[in-house]
Chains A and B, each alone.
Chain A
Amino acid sequence: MRRTLFVLLLLAPGLGLVLAFVSLVLYVAVSQSFGLYNLGGDSVFSLAHWQAMLGERRYWRALQYSAYIAVTASLLAVALAYPVALLLRKPFRGSLTLSALIKAPLLVPGLVAAFLFVNVISYHGIVNQLMLSLGLWDAPVRLQNDKNGYGVILLQVWKQLPFAFLLLSAAVQALPDAVLLAARDLGAGPLDRFRKVVLPLTAGAMQAALVLIFIGAAGDFSFQAVAGPPSVDSLATLMTSVQSTQGDWNGAAVVAVTLMALSLFGSAALAILVRGATRLARG
Chain B
Amino acid sequence: MLRKIMLAATTALLSIGPVMAADDLLTASWDDVIAQAKQEGELNWYVWYFQPEFREQVRVFEDLYGIKVNVPDVTSGDDVKNKLLAEAGREVGDIDVIALGGDAANTIDVTKVFYGPILPVLPEAGALTDKINGGDGQGYAVAYWGNQTGMAYDSNRVDVATLPQTLDELAAWIDANPGQLGFNYEKGGSGPSFIHNIARNILGIAPDAVIDAVPDLAPVWDWFNAREDKFVITGSNADSLTRLNSGEFLMVPAWEDMLFSLQTKNEVGSQIKLYVPDWGMNGGGNIVAIPANAPNKAAALLFVSWLTSADTQTAFNQRFGTAPANSNADSSKALVSAAERANTRLWTMPINSNDVVPAFIENVVQD
Report the minimal beta-carbon distance from A12 to chain B, rounded to whole angstroms: 34
Report the minimal beta-carbon distance from B327 to chain A, rounded to whole angstroms: 33
Contact A231 B233 (CB under 8 A): yes
Asked if B338 is at the interface of the complex by the 8 Å CB criterion, the answer is no
Contact B366 A230 (CB under 8 A): no
Which residue of chain A is the closest to B232 with respect to CB atoms?
A: A142
**What count of chain A residues pass the 8 Å CB interface test?**
22
- Counting chain B CB atoms within 10 Å of each CB, the highest count among A61, A123, A140, A226 belongs to A123
Asked if A244 is at the interface of the complex by the 8 Å CB criterion, the answer is yes
Contact A56 B246 (CB under 8 A): no
Residues of A within 8 A of B78 (CB): 244-245, 247
Contact B362 A123 (CB under 8 A): no
A58-B362 in contact given A145-B235, A230-B233 (Cβ < 8 Å)? yes
Report the minimal beta-carbon distance from A140 to chain B, rounded to whole angstroms: 8
Q: Mark A220-255, 1 if CB is under 8 A from B, else 0.
A: 000001100011100000000100111100000000
**Interchain CB contact (< 8 A) of B366 among A122, A123, A231:** A231
Residues of A within 8 A of B361 (CB): 58
Q: Mark B170-208, 1 if CB is under 8 A from A, else 0.
A: 000000000100001110000000000000000000000
Contact A142 B366 (CB under 8 A): no
Residues of A within 8 A of B215 (CB): none
Contact B362 A230 (CB under 8 A): no
Q: Mark B205-236, 1 if CB is under 8 A from A, else 0.
A: 00000000000000000000000000011110
**Interchain CB contact (< 8 A) of A241 among B179, B186, B362:** B186
> Complex Cα distance A247/B358, Å?
13
**What count of chain B residues pass the 8 Å CB interface test?**
21
Asked if B243 is at the interface of the complex by the 8 Å CB criterion, the answer is yes
Report the minimal beta-carbon distance from A125 to chain B, rounded to whole angstroms: 9
A142-B235 in contact given A58-B366, A123-B246, A124-B247 (Cβ < 8 Å)? no
Report the minimal beta-carbon distance from A44 to chain B, rounded to whole angstroms: 19
A123-B233 in contact given A231-B366, A241-B186 (Cβ < 8 Å)? no
Contact A230 B76 (CB under 8 A): no
Which residue of chain A is the closest to B184 with respect to CB atoms?
A: A230
> Complex Cα distance A142/B239, Å?
14
Some 25 contacts from A to B, beta carbons below 8 A apart, are A39-B82, A58-B361, A58-B365, A58-B366, A61-B366, A122-B248, A123-B246, A123-B247, A123-B248, A124-B246, A124-B247, A124-B248, A140-B248, A142-B179, A142-B232, A142-B248, A144-B243, A225-B235, A230-B185, A230-B234, A231-B233, A241-B186, A245-B78, A245-B186, A247-B82
Across the A-B interface, the 4 shortest Cβ-Cβ residue pairs: A123-B248, A57-B366, A230-B233, A230-B235
Write the residues of chain B forming the contact surface with A, with a CB cutoff of 8 angstroms. Answer: 76, 78, 82, 179, 184-186, 232-235, 239, 243, 246-248, 358, 361-362, 365-366
Write the residues of chain A forming the contact surface with B, with a CB cutoff of 8 angstroms. Answer: 39, 56-58, 61, 122-124, 140, 142, 144-145, 225-226, 230-232, 241, 244-247
Known: A124-B248, A231-B233. 5 other contacts (CB 8 A): A56-B362, A123-B247, A230-B235, A231-B366, A232-B366
